[in-house]
Amino acid sequence: MKKAFVTGVTGQDGAYLSKLLLEKNYEVYGLVRRSSTADVNDTRLRWLNIAGDIKLIDGNLTDLSSLIRILREIKPDEIYNLAAQSFVKSSWHQPLLTGTVTGLGCVNVLEAMRLECPQARFYQASSSEMYGLIQEPIQSETTPFYPRSPYAAAKLYAHWMTINYRESFHLHASSGILFNHESPLRGIEFVTRKVTDGVARIKLGLAKELRLGNIDAKRDWGHSRDYVRAMWLMLQQDQPDDFVVATGRSVTVRDMCEIAFKHVGLELKNHLVIDPELFRPAEVDILLGDASKAKRLLGWEPVVTLEEMISEMVEADLKRLSSSH
């Protein structure tokens, strides 16, 4: 039985990845940091009915000694580093924390792996935010990066350190440059979930308006369930490498909102309020990924359409809100 160690196990991707690994008969170990809210941190795992199947281990990305201890104990075959301070807006308010967790945290995991289990396979969750002020209209593995937030800069450091460890120490270390991917498990602070939750509240009469910032930004949105499959496929390859994971379709936030409102039979223009306070200090205007390398070498393609994903998210929020009110 293969063993997998997942950081960020209680997040959206960590939950879907753990479910996939369990289905493939892995023993799954998840890193959890000490927190007074520990009892609510596994809600995503419970939502997928897998909370009892994962072995949760206390530790912290910023504490190398805890990572060395954990890897020495479990000797995993695969390591997935999904943990991060992952909210772009918060990275402006907490740039040093973001750099420490999102950037240096990755290197702590790589260093612990180099010392304790160099034969393991490593996955780093890189981000399309690294492209930032885009240098090419469609972004691939060879597109130059131009990060536009502390989060993106921290992710870029982690990305290049993964490459450095791969080339310097011959580790099987791969990065997935994942474009935006969502699901009913997405955090409420992210725009897609903010929209689907807002639409559900308006539909149920719990709210009248939806406040958003820049709705002209364009994103390439896919489903987390599809994207964690790409992560797993990367670690099954003979050679480690970096892969863009994207749908190749980009729409505006406005278009995404239209889909959500249309699903419940409402008009966007009757409920949308643009709030200047919600604009980013430096905007990433458009992201559109070219995942042809992943298709060619991994045999990966997205299955869930944007419309299906938004409908699933709206339905999940309607159900959640109906049961809590």
State pLDDT tens for residues 233-249.
Answer: 999 999 999 999 999 99
Average pLDDT in the 188-202 region? 95
Neighbours of 173 (CB within 10 A): 29
Residue recorded with tokens 């206390």: 58
Residue 317 near residue 238 (C-beta atoms within 8 A): no
Determine the pLDDT at residue 37.
61
Residues in the chain: 325
Average pLDDT in the 72-90 region? 92
Determine the pLDDT at residue 40.
61
Determine the pLDDT at residue 157.
98
- Average pLDDT in the chain: 95
Domains of the chain, earliest start first: 3-181+221-245 (3.40.50.720), 187-219+251-285+305-324 (3.90.25.10)
State pLDDT tens for residues 27-71.
Answer: 999 999 877 566 667 899 999 999 999 999 999 999 999 999 999
Residue recorded with tokens 């390398």: 293
Asked whether the predicted pLDDT for residue 143 surpasses 60, the reply is: yes
State pLDDT tens for residues 218-228.
Answer: 999 999 999 99
Determine the pLDDT at residue 90.
84
Give CA–CA dist 325/172, Å, rounded. Answer: 49
Residue 145 near residue 93 (C-beta atoms within 8 A): no
Q: What is the pTM of this model?
A: 0.95
Determine the pLDDT at residue 39.
62
Residue 267 near residue 261 (C-beta atoms within 8 A): yes
Q: First CA to last CA across the chain, in angstroms?
A: 44
Which are the contacts of 167, defined by CB distance < 8 A and separation ≥ 6?
Answer: none
Determine the pLDDT at residue 38.
60
Sign of CA dihedral 106, 108, 114, 118: negative
| Strand partners for 210 | 272
Strands (E), 17-69: 27-32, 55-58
Band (106; pLDDT cuts 50, 70, 90): very high
| Three state DSSP letters for 148-181 | CCHHHHHHHHHHHHHHHHHHHHCCEEEEEEECCE
Asked whether the predicted pLDDT for residue 86 surpasses 90, the reply is: no
With a pLDDT cut of 90, the percent of the chain lying above it is: 90
State pLDDT tens for residues 258-316.
Answer: 999 999 999 999 999 998 888 767 777 899 999 999 999 999 999 999 999 999 999 99
Give CA–CA dist 232/245, Å, rounded. Answer: 12
Determine the pLDDT at residue 33.
87
